[in-house]
Chain A
Amino acid sequence: MSESTYRAAVIGLGRMGSTFDDEIKQGGQFFMPYCHAPTYAASPHTELVAGADPHAEQGAIFAERWGLEDRQIYADYREMLEAERPDFVSMCTTARLRAAIMIDAINAGVKAIWAEKPFTLSLAEADEVIELAASKGVAIAVNCSRRYNVFFTEARRMVEEGDLGELLQITAYTQCNLSSNGSHAIDTMCYLVGGDVEWVFGEMESDEKADADEDLMGNGYMAFDNGVRGFLRGTPTGAAPWEFDLIGTEGRVRSLAQGMETQYYRWVPGGPRGRNLPARAPFPLPTTVPAMGPAVIEDLVQCIDSGAPPRCSDEDGRKALEIAIAMRESHRQGGRRIDLPLPDRSLRLLSSEIAQDAVPARIRRLKGRWP
Chain B
Amino acid sequence: MSESKFRAAVIGLGRMGSTFDDEIEQGGQFFMPYCHAPTYTASPQTDLISGADPHAEQGEIFADRWGLERGQIYADYREMLEAERPEFVSICTTARLRAQIMIDAINAGVKAIWAEKPFTLSLAEADEVIELGNRNGVAIAVNCSRRYNVFFNQARRMVDEGELGEILQITAYAQCNLSHNGSHSIDAMRYLAAGDVEWVFGEMESDEKAAGEEDLMGNGYMAFDNGARGFLRGTPTGAAPWEFDLIGTEGRVRTLAQGMEAQYYRWVPGGLRDQGLPARAPFPLPTQIPSSGLSVIEDLVDCIETGRQPRCSGEDGRKALEIAIALRESHRRGGRRVDLPLADRSLRILSVEIREDALPARVRRMQQNQGAG
Residues of A within 8 A of B (CB): 23-26, 29, 164-166, 168-169, 171, 173, 199, 201, 203, 219, 221, 223, 229, 231, 233, 235-241, 245, 247-252, 256-258, 260, 265-267, 271-273, 275-278, 334-337
Contacts and interface: CB of A to CB of B under 8 A. Distances in A.
B240 interface: yes
A145 B238 CA distance: 28
B257 A277 contact: yes
B272 A336 contact: no
A20 B168 CA distance: 31
B240 A247 contact: yes
A201 B335 contact: yes
Contacts of A29: 272
Nearest to B165: A238
Contacts of B266: 239
Contact of A335 (B24, B171, B201): B201
Given A233-B229, A335-B337, A257 B278 contact: yes
B248 interface: yes
B24 A278 contact: no
Nearest to B275: A241
Interface in B23-81: 23-26, 29
A278 B256 contact: yes
Contact of A240 (B169, B231, B239): B169
Nearest to A253: B239
Contacts of A231: 171, 221, 231, 233
5 contacts: A229-B219, A238-B250, A240-B245, A249-B239, A250-B238
Contact of A252 (B23, B29, B169, B240): B240
B349 to A, nearest CB: 21
B300 interface: no
A276 B260 CA distance: 12
Interface residues of B, number: 53
Nearest to A258: B272
Nearest to B164: A239
A239 B201 contact: no
Nearest to B233: A169
Interface in B221-276: 221, 223, 229, 231, 233, 235-241, 245, 247-252, 256-258, 260, 265-267, 271-273, 275-276
Nearest to A171: B171
B171 A266 contact: no
B361 interface: no
A165 B237 CA distance: 12
B277 A257 contact: yes
Contacts of B245: 240
Contacts of B238: 165-166, 168-169, 247-250, 252, 267
Given A201-B335, A334-B336, A334-B337, A239 B236 contact: no
A238 B166 contact: yes
Nearest to A275: B241
Contacts of A240: 169, 245, 247, 252, 278
Contacts of B166: 238
A155 to B, nearest CB: 13
Contacts of B265: 239
Nearest to A164: B239
A239 B252 contact: yes
B264 to A, nearest CB: 10
B87 interface: no
B195 to A, nearest CB: 16
Closest 8 CB pairs of A and B: A337-B335, A335-B337, A249-B238, A238-B249, A239-B252, A252-B239, A267-B239, A239-B267
Contacts of B257: 271, 277-278
Contact of B273 (A23, A248, A271, A335): A23
B173 interface: yes
A169 B241 contact: no
Instruction: Give the interface centre of A233, A238, A267 by most chain B CB atoms within 10 Å.
Output: A238
B219 A221 contact: yes
Contact of A257 (B26, B231, B237, B271): B271
B240 A239 contact: no
B278 A241 contact: yes
A221 B272 contact: no
Contacts of A278: 239-241, 256-257
Interface string B341-366: 00000000000000000000000000
Contacts of B201: 201, 221, 335
B215 interface: no
A287 B240 CA distance: 29
A227 B185 CA distance: 22
Nearest to B26: A272
B114 interface: no
A29 B250 CA distance: 23
Contacts of A239: 164-165, 247-252, 265-267, 278
Nearest to A259: B272
A247 B233 CA distance: 11
Contacts of A275: 241
A248 B239 contact: yes
B21 interface: no
B70 to A, nearest CB: 33
Task: Find the residue from B238, B267, B337 having the highest chain A CB count within 10 A.
Answer: B238
B203 interface: yes
B272 A26 contact: yes
A170 B239 CA distance: 13
Given A238-B252, A271-B257, A247 B203 contact: no
A273 B203 CA distance: 30
B334 interface: yes
Given A169-B173, A221-B201, A236 B239 contact: no
B337 A272 contact: no
A34 to B, nearest CB: 14
A130 to B, nearest CB: 29
A221 B203 contact: yes
Contacts of B151: none
B199 interface: yes
A202 B247 CA distance: 20
Contacts of A237: 168-169, 247
A167 to B, nearest CB: 8
Contact of A238 (B24, B203, B247): B247
Contacts of A252: 238-240
B207 to A, nearest CB: 13
A173 B169 contact: yes
